[in-house]
Amino acid sequence: MRKRRPNHRLVKIHRNYAVEDVARLFGIHKNTVRAWVKAGLPICDSRRPILILGRDLATYLKDRRAKNKRPCQAGEIYCVRCHEPKRPAGKMAEYQPITATLGNLTGICPDCEGMMYRRTSKTKLAAIQAELEVAFVERERQVNESPQPTVNSDFAKG
């Protein structure tokens, strides 16, 4: 189960949203929206039901995205579950080539023990190998292969 990141571009900034509206807009649970409010999403006055300005919502989501986009350092891999890059457990990672110049770096998260992924270019491997012990894996077709998030890809920058 992968969570899609709500796209702030769906928000109409001149509209006001009730919690239900936001939930419907992104196909998420109302409790998720309430969690955003608790986490700092501004609401209108103290009126009931809660009303959220489209402009505030768009800004909040944009900021959240930017925060999540913290790029990986050389020795770090992105943990999807913790939503942050960190060093893999045991400083060990596996590199699986996708093409001659591009591959997937995977590791185990030291905190949640989930899989960590990073798309990286072969030219960056040397820097990564200075930080981590990288094992090379042959490319093979995996039945349960699912598209990996590329938010922290080295190619996502500018």
Q: Which parts of this chain interact with Zn ion (CB under 5 A)?
A: 79, 81-82, 109, 111-112, 114
Shortest gap between Cβ of 105 and Zn ion (angstroms)?
15
90: which residues sit within 8 A by CB, 6+ positions away?
108, 133
Nearer to Zn ion, 19 or 109 (CB): 109
Nearer to Zn ion, 121 or 150 (CB): 150
Question: Which contiguous run of DSSP H or E holds residue 53?
Answer: strand 51-53
Shortest gap between Cβ of 30 and Zn ion (angstroms)?
26
29: which residues sit within 8 A by CB, 6+ positions away?
23
Provide, for the chain, the percentages of residues in helix, strand and coil under a 3-state DSSP scheme, each rounded to the nearest 5.
30, 25, 45
Shortest gap between Cβ of 61 and Zn ion (angstroms)?
22
Q: Using CB atoms, what's the residue nearest to Zn ion?
A: 109
